[in-house]
């Protein structure tokens, strides 16, 4: 059997889909499982266990619905038995239809049921991991067992006296305000005197990270890797760290998926739907005193700067990290 899976478009969602891929592998032992992923996220796909082939999709190379259709047609010679479509966009439905797969399975959205052979209503109020798994369960009529989200880093190594810090997010409502981030960094370096704090970020986030470090109290124990690592290198860095402190963003899911102790700072996002899935060594911190929490908006309409992030208790952050750094 040959199975093709169209993975989601966001980093965190790709990581959360690893439980779906693992369940497909369990339900269809011996099947060849290939994936389609955004070209920018291809480095993550190489860390997902059980994948036979990775197909990179670039909307710049295949622009518009016509480009998506042309890309989808490239899979026709392979004659896939099942195409599982995890995104819910029109373009992903067109891609599934163009692939010519015998069975095309996805959620019923944006008129996609016209291009799918089996479509299902997306369940409400589920965690994203369970949402993806529900698609497979509805299609097969079987319950998924192991629901662990996991990435493979290859070699295991001893954790170094490093804490990875990510204060970035695609959404401004989930990004740490600049002055608050500086205050937290200074507090961390004051309390944990034997730890090096490594700040990360995508190339487009380097300016923000540079600003965070202006006037740092202990610059000798801060390392700026923003824009200097690819996704595979970032995952390796996290796997070798004592802990990861991060906003609600893709890196939170990366850290959680490799088993590194992860402290996640939530603002606008709803942790019941999108928090890192594995509960082991996971701490979620939110302010929780505002009537607008969580608004799940990408921008803060009420305060401008997200007050839910501004009001986060630094003592709670210190206490959460202390559980993993108390011998440092």
Enter the pTM of the model: 0.94
Q: Tens of pLDDT along the chain (328 residues)? A: 999 999 999 999 999 999 999 999 999 999 999 999 999 999 999 999 999 999 999 999 999 999 999 999 999 999 999 999 999 899 999 999 999 999 999 998 867 778 999 999 999 999 999 999 999 999 999 999 888 899 998 766 667 899 999 999 989 999 999 999 999 999 999 999 999 999 999 999 999 999 999 999 999 999 999 999 999 999 999 999 999 999 999 999 999 999 999 999 999 999 999 999 999 999 999 999 999 999 999 999 999 999 999 999 999 999 999 999 976 5
As given in the structure block, the two tokens for residue 95 are 């891609």
Query: If 0-12 CB within 10 Å is exposed, 13-18 middle and 19+ buried, where does residue 273 land?
Result: middle
Q: With contact defined as beta carbons under 8 Å apart, do 293 and 286 qualify?
A: yes
DSSP 98-161: HHT-SEEEEE--TTGGGT-SEEEPPPSS--HHHHHHHHHHHHHT------------SS--PPEE
Structure tokens at 15: 């990581």
Contact in structure between 119 and 112 (CB atoms under 8 Å)? yes
Q: How far apart are CA 116 and CA 172, in angstroms?
A: 35
Number of other CB atoms surrounding residue 83 within 10 Å: 29
256 Cα distance to chain centroid: 9
φ, ψ for residue 33, nearest 5 deg: -115, 115
- Nearest CA among 227, 141, 223 for reference residue 189: 223
For the chain, the maximum distance between any two Cα atoms, rounded to a whole number of angstroms, is: 61
pLDDT score for 158: 67
The order of strands in the sheet holding 222-224 is 222-224, 196-199, 160-166, 241-247, 262-266, 282-286
| Contact criterion met (CB below 8 Å) for 325 and 192 | yes
d(CA 207, CA 194) in angstroms, rounded, equals 27
d(CA 67, CA 291): 44
């Amino acid at each position: 059997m040959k199975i093709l899976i169209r993975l989601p478009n966001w980093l965190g969602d790709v990581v959360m889909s690893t439980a779906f891929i693992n369940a497909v592998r369990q339900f269809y032992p011996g099947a060849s499982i290939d994936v389609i992923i955004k070209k920018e996220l291809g480095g993550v796909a190489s860390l997902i266990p059980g994948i036979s082939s990775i197909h990179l999709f670039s909307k710049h190379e295949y622009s518009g619905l016509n480009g998506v259709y042309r890309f989808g047609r490239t899979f026709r010679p392979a004659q896939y038995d099942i195409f599982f479509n995890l995104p819910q966009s029109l373009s992903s439905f067109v891609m599934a239809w163009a692939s010519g797969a015998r069975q095309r399975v996805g959620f019923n959205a944006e008129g996609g049921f016209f291009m799918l052979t089996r479509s299902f209503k997306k369940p409400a109020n589920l965690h994203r991991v369970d949402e993806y798994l529900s698609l497979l369960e509805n299609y097969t009529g079987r319950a998924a067992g192991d629901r662990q989200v996991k990435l493979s880093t290859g070699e295991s190594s001893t954790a170094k006296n490093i804490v990875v810090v990510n204060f970035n997010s695609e959404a401004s409502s989930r990004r740490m305000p600049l002055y608050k981030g500086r205050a937290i960094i200074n507090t961390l370096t004051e309390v944990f005197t034997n730890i090096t704090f490594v700040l990360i970020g995508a190339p487009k986030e380097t300016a923000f990270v540079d600003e965070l470090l202006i006037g740092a109290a202990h610059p000798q124990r801060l390392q700026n890797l923003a824009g200097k690592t690819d996704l595979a290198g970032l995952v390796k860095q996290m796997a070798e760290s004592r802990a990861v402190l991060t906003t609600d963003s893709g890196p939170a899911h990366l850290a959680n998926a490799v088993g590194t102790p992860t402290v996640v700072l939530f603002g606008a996002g709803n942790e019941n739907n999108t928090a890192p899935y594995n509960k082991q060594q996971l701490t979620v911190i939110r302010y929780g005193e505002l009537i607008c929490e969580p608004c799940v908006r990408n921008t803060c309409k009420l305060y401008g700067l997200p007050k839910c992030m501004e009001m986060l208790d630094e003592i709670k952050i210190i206490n959460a990290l202390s559980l993993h750094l108390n011998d440092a």
